[in-house]
Copies of this chain bind each other. A is one copy, B any other.
Amino acid sequence: MLFEKVTFIGIGLINSSLARVMRRDGLAGHIAACSRTRKTLDKAVELGLADSVTTDPRLAVEGADLVVLGTPLGTYAEIAENMAGGLKPGCIVTDVGSVKECVERDVGPHLPEGVHLVPAHPVAGTENSGPEAGFAELFDGRWCIITPLKKTDPAAVETVCELWRCAGSDIQMMDPVRHDKVLAITSHVPHLIAYTIVGTATELEGDLRDEVIQFSAGGFRDFTRIAASDPTMWRDVFLNNREAVLEMLGRFSEDLVALRRAIRRGEGDTLDEVFTRTREIRRGVIDAKQHIPPKGPNGAKN
């Protein structure tokens, strides 16, 4: 057992998957879940993921050795402020959010002396949301990026690493600013692009829109999957990683303009050259064993 009491603030896809890992491996003596909505908490109990539930963050964290924030980034500051009074000395506060510099900014100032903040980001997910969408294998063979602050107790960092190793993840330590830059291009901009093109399709006239759905197997399908991800979570990612996302989006837009120009002018060689280069990156992804999408809760493809 790694923890006597663990509190999950938010029990959606990621936190509920981590709760399943803890159940499977017996890592926690007691699991408490906190959510704004009663329905989500009822579901968590029904699924056997929580021993106690409450909508009150302060109550939820009382006596916890580990608190895992798994709510949209925009809620962090208020939750940290609300729960601060319930945190016991020595407690580790971690999170699973997709942007990391903002965690220190929003959560750090509220934590009492003796509480350890260890921001983390499991680079894994599906387009599904809610406690029923989670599954214990989600993190298997995926990276978990940990972005500890300089002053953080190494023992607390090691405990969080150990937890993610139990989940099957490989650990990577990283500076939060670097993390946010890397993830802007690997995750945030791809999501924004997918949302954009699916949005473009939703605005087509009725007939054409139906046909877009009908013939989506031509490539569009993959974008609709990405663009089905949780809207609030992603809104907060973009608002909290604005600089890096806008920079990478700028580069992408320049490159797209260049390809548009090549198409307009009928410059086949330019297209050939770019399309050939991109295959190498795919080979890298396959070599790094990151190419297999996760299976859903019942082994079904999402």
Contact = CB atoms under 8 A, between A and B. Distances in A.
Copies of this chain per assembly: 2
Contact of A253 (B188, B256, B279): B256
A222 B190 contact: yes
Interface of A: 74, 98, 123-125, 127, 142-143, 145, 172, 181-183, 185-204, 208-229, 231-232, 234-236, 238-239, 242, 245-246, 248-249, 251-253, 255-256, 259-260, 263-264, 266, 268, 271-272, 274-282, 284-285, 288, 290-293, 301
Given A187-B220, A285-B213, A195 B228 contact: no
Contacts of A193: 193, 197, 256
A215 B272 contact: no
Contact of A285 (B98, B196, B216, B242): B216
A260 B193 CA distance: 10
For chain A, what secondary structure do more than half of its interface residues adopt (helix, strand, loop), or is it mixed?
Answer: helix
Nearest to A198: B278
A270 to B, nearest CB: 9
Contact of A185 (B98, B220, B249, B271): B220
Contacts of A256: 192-193, 196, 249, 253
